[in-house]
Amino acid sequence: MTMEELDRLLALEDGDAALVFLCGKRGREPQIGETRMAQARKKLGSAGMLPSSFIERPSYSAGEIAQSKLTDPGFRAVVDEAERLMGKALSPSDLQTLHSIRHWRGLPSGVLLMLLHYCAGEKKYITSMKQVDKEAGFWEKEGIDGEAEAERFITRKEASREATAKIYKRIGIFGREPGATEKRYVASWVEMGFSPEAIAIAYDKTTQNAGWPAWAYCDKIIRRWHENGWHTPEQIERNDKKTPAVQRNEAAGSYERNKEALRRVKGEGR
- Helices 3-12/15-25 angle, 10° precision: 150
Q: List all residues 6 or more positions away from 51 whose beta carbon is below 8 Å from its beta carbon.
A: 21, 24, 25, 44, 140
Q: According to the model, what pLDDT value does residue 121 have? A: 86
Give Cα 217 to chain centroid, integer Å.
Answer: 26
The least confident of 34-43, 101-110, 189-198, 211-220 is: 34-43
Q: According to the model, what pLDDT value does residue 209 have? A: 80
pTM above 0.85, yes or no: no
**Which of 28-37, 73-82, 167-176, 230-239 reaches the highest mean pLDDT?**
73-82
Region 50-75 average pLDDT: 85
Taking the C-alpha atoms of residue 21 and residue 24, their distance in angstroms, rounded to an integer, is 5
CA distances from 168 to 39, 84, 102, 173, 220 (A): 53, 32, 37, 5, 18
DSSP state of 27: T
Q: Is the pLDDT of residue 117 over 90?
A: yes
Q: Is the pLDDT of residue 252 over 70?
A: no
What is the b/e burial string over 154-193, where b = at least 16 CB atoms within 10 angstroms of the residue's CB? Answer: eeeeeeeeebbebbbebbebeeeebeeebeebbeebbeee
Q: According to the model, what pLDDT value does residue 155 have? A: 92
Q: What's the pLDDT tens digit per position in 162-184? A: 888 899 988 888 888 888 888 99
φ/ψ of residue 219, rounded to 5: -65, -35
Q: How many CA atoms lie within 13 A of 234 on its CB side?
A: 0
Q: Are 95 and 133 in contact (CB under 8 A)?
A: no
Tell me the helices (H) and strands (E) count for the chain, helix number first: 14, 0
Taking the C-alpha atoms of residue 139 and residue 35, their distance in angstroms, rounded to an integer, is 30
Q: According to the model, what pLDDT value does residue 246 have? A: 42
Give Cα 193 to chain centroid, integer Å.
Answer: 16
Q: According to the model, what pLDDT value does residue 49 have? A: 77
